[in-house]
Amino acid sequence: MKSEKILLRFPKTETGKPIVYHLIKDYNLVVNIYVAKITQDKEGYLVVNLTGEEADLARGKAFLRSLQVQVESVENGILRDNSRCTHCGNCVSHCPTNALHIADRKTMRVELDQSLCIACSLCTTNCPFGACTSVF
Amino acid sequence: MRTYKQINDRIASGKAVVLTAEEIIDYVERKGEEKALAEVDVVTTATFGPMCSSGCFLNFGQCVPKIRISECTIDGVEAYGGLAAVDVFLGATQLRVNAPANLTFPGEFSFGGAHVIEKLVAGEMVEVIATSYGTQDYPRRELRTEVCIHDLNQAIMVNPRNCYQNYNVAVNCSEKRLYTYLGQLEPNMQNASYSSAGQLSPLLNDPWYETIGIGTAVWLAGARGHVHAEGTQHFPTCQRNHNGVPMEGAGTLGLTADMKQMQRKYVRACSFRGYGVSLALGVGIPIPILNQRILRQVCVRDSEILAPITDYSLDYPMKTGRVLGYVNYEQLKSGQIELDGRKIATSSLSSYSLALEIAELLKAEISEGKFLLSEPLQLLPREQSSKPFPIREKTI
Ligand code: SF4
Ligand code: SF4
């Protein structure tokens, strides 16, 4: 069994399709949805965790790509502009996964552990300095 | 015992011993008070955080034909023109003309006076539109142009209230989310928000305003500036801890400095969803170690500074004065506090990391003989309380 956290971008033409259903039914994947969003331009975004046999995972991702869904790493979902971040720490108590955290209480610098981020965007609405931006 | 003159002579000759307000704590612990008193000349304090009561006076210079500005916007933000011909005052929290504000709640407040100030400091171009009723000596009735800070004669930051001595810890006891100047407060006290540099903060290291007064030289966002007045809402009469440190907001400072010398990193616009625009500033203030009493005061630590936990759903807006409890900055900085047996996640709006950086920068400037101290021309009031805003029904 393998688990993978990915960011899916759906073009306008694919947002109406029951893609998650197929991932579960046809590829035996356990799908945990962190974020689902459709933008004003009718593009869709899903941040999901897929769990299943390695072969099923590969087939599932190939299926997604065949539908012109872009499969990306979640790490690309949230960007923190280090030149704008003041390390105030306001985002820390709003981040549900501790991706944003203070590692050293002496310097109080705010670190971002991309591997924990689920691209929920809570930091983008909670950063007063506009340092965090979301791709969707 | 030392005098300002002795300290400045040592600074000028490059011999002054300077430590940050964080370093002095360990130093005294290691070397003992007597030795520290004999050795240390200056301790640097600093803070970086949103300070809404900030703004600047700008002088554009004259065009041909001349104008006597009556209305003015800069990047769409109104600047007050009720001054001489080409002088305006731009306030940090002013929104764009026609900004939606909280029309659809919570508003985004993505641009305002603070953003214009940050752009100016960064040397970027801003659009100025001005109108006038026209006079015989100032015939021009309107203008539209682009300028940057280098085009201006003066750009002087004048902040009525900076550097709050201490501050509230905000929580939300209600059932719905609150959008405040201390950030979003989740229902049922899920988070607590504070804003102070604690043991590094200027007025917490000089609780009775013995060295920080009107005329004190300060480091304001990279420029050399001064305390020009007591800050608005300077209310030193308050509950104080055994060490004299206030347990609430208490003292404030009015600061001024030349914006042309400032650095963008320390002049930062911020947007609070549902609340508005503010300006975060970096301030550093040196404290001369004149005597033992002052040395003891700058050794204050986070664990000895208490802040009041305040409910922003009711007690703050309704001014009830109720405090839910007190916590110290060591607890606040740990990321979690406890109130009535409940654990609450904390986060800050003031950047301790940048405050440390500023304390170090100021320390370097003083050590290199580039920043001299100035003795206050006038001390700040040590007794003064808040007056309420009387709401009087007008009877005809
Ligand atoms: S709230 Fe914004 S500025 Fe503050 S630490 Fe987080 S990302 Fe940085
Ligand atoms: S999007 Fe921001 S708040 Fe959400 S998990 Fe990632 S870092 Fe944390």
CATH fit for domain A78-134, picks 3.40.50.300, 3.30.420.40, 3.40.50.720, 3.30.70.20 = 3.30.70.20
* ipTM of the prediction: 0.92
Is residue B25 within 8 A of residue B43, CB to CB? The reply is no
Residues of B in contact with A109 (CB under 8 A): 353
- pLDDT for position B239: 95
- pLDDT for position A16: 75
Residues of B in contact with A92 (CB under 8 A): 335, 345, 347
Total Cβ atoms within 10 A of residue B177? 14
- pLDDT for position B1: 84
Give the Å distances, CA to CA, from B192 to A52, B312, B343.
40, 10, 10
- Mutation test of the interface with chain B: which of A108, A110, A121, A134, choosing the one with the most B Cβ atoms within 10 A? A108
Q: Mean of the pLDDT values across residues B77-86?
A: 96
Q: Mean of the pLDDT values across residues B44-64?
A: 97
Confidence band, pLDDT 50/70/90 cuts, at residue A76: confident
Give the number of the atom of ligand 1 that is nearest the alpha carbon of residue A130: 2
Give the number of the atom of ligand 1 that is nearest the alpha carbon of residue A80: 7
User: Is the shortest distance between the CB of A95 and ligand 2 below 6 Å?
Assistant: yes
Q: Mean of the pLDDT values across residues B103-123?
A: 97
User: Is the shortest distance between the CB of A100 and ligand 2 below 6 Å?
Assistant: yes
Which of A105, A109, A128 is closest, CB to CB, to B333?
A105
CA-nearest residue of chain A to B185?
A94
Give the number of the atom of ligand 2 that is nearest the alpha carbon of residue A122: 3
Confidence band, pLDDT 50/70/90 cuts, at residue B50: very high
Tens of pLDDT, residues B128-166: 999 999 999 999 999 999 999 999 999 999 999 999 999
Q: Mean of the pLDDT values across residues B55-71?
A: 97
Q: Å from A122 to nearest chain B CA?
A: 11
How many domains, chain B?
1
Tens of pLDDT, residues A80-119: 999 999 999 999 999 999 999 999 999 999 999 988 998 8
Confidence band, pLDDT 50/70/90 cuts, at residue B331: very high
Residue B93 lies in a domain: yes
H-helix or E-strand spanning residue A34: strand A30-38
Question: Among A93, A95, A129, which is best to mutate for testing ligand 1, by the most ligand atoms less than 8 A from CB?
Answer: A129
Residue B314 lies in a domain: no
- pLDDT for position A43: 85
pLDDT at A40 over 90: no
H-helix or E-strand spanning residue B171: strand B169-171
The CATH class of A2-76 is alpha beta
pLDDT at B5 over 80: yes
- pLDDT for position B274: 97
Q: How far apart are CA B309 and CA A11, in angstroms?
A: 48
User: Is the shortest distance between the CB of A78 and ligand 2 below 6 Å?
Assistant: yes
Give the domain ranges of chain A.
2-76, 78-134
Residue B337 lies in a domain: no
pLDDT at A45 over 90: no
Question: Where on the phi/psi map is residue B233: left (φ > 0), alpha (ψ -120 to 50), or beta?
Answer: left
- Residues in the ligand 1 pocket, defined by CB under 6 Å: A 80, 85-91, 110, 127, 129, 131-132
Q: How far apart are CA B7 and CA B9, in angstroms?
A: 5
Residue B125 lies in a domain: yes
- Is B333 close to A108, i.e. CB distance below 8 A? yes
| Range(s) of the domain holding residue B78 | 55-157
User: Is the shortest distance between the CB of A119 and ligand 2 below 6 Å?
Assistant: yes
Q: Å from A86 to nearest chain B CA?
A: 6
- pLDDT for position A27: 93
Write the DSSP string, B60-105: ----SS-B--SEEEETTEEEB--SSTTEEEEETTPBBTT--TTSSS
pLDDT, chain B, mean: 97
Give the number of the atom of ligand 1 that is nearest the alpha carbon of residue B349: 4
Is residue A45 within 8 A of residue A8, CB to CB? The reply is yes
Residue B101 lies in a domain: yes
pLDDT at A135 over 80: no
Q: What is the dihedral of CA B174, B332, B349, B254, to 10 degrees?
A: 110
pLDDT at A68 over 90: no
Q: Mean of the pLDDT values across residues B48-61?
A: 97
Look at strands B18-20 and B42-50 and give their pairing: parallel
Tens of pLDDT, residues B209-252: 999 999 999 999 999 999 999 999 999 999 999 999 999 999 99
Q: Å from B275 to nearest chain A CA?
A: 11
Nearest alpha carbon, ligand 2 atom 3: A95
Is residue B19 within 8 A of residue B45, CB to CB? The reply is no
Q: Å from B131 to nearest chain A CA?
A: 32
- Among A19-23, B124-128, B158-162, whose mean pLDDT is lowest? A19-23
Which of A93, A110, A128 is closest, CB to CB, to B272?
A128
Is B194 in CB contact (< 8 Å) with chain A?
no
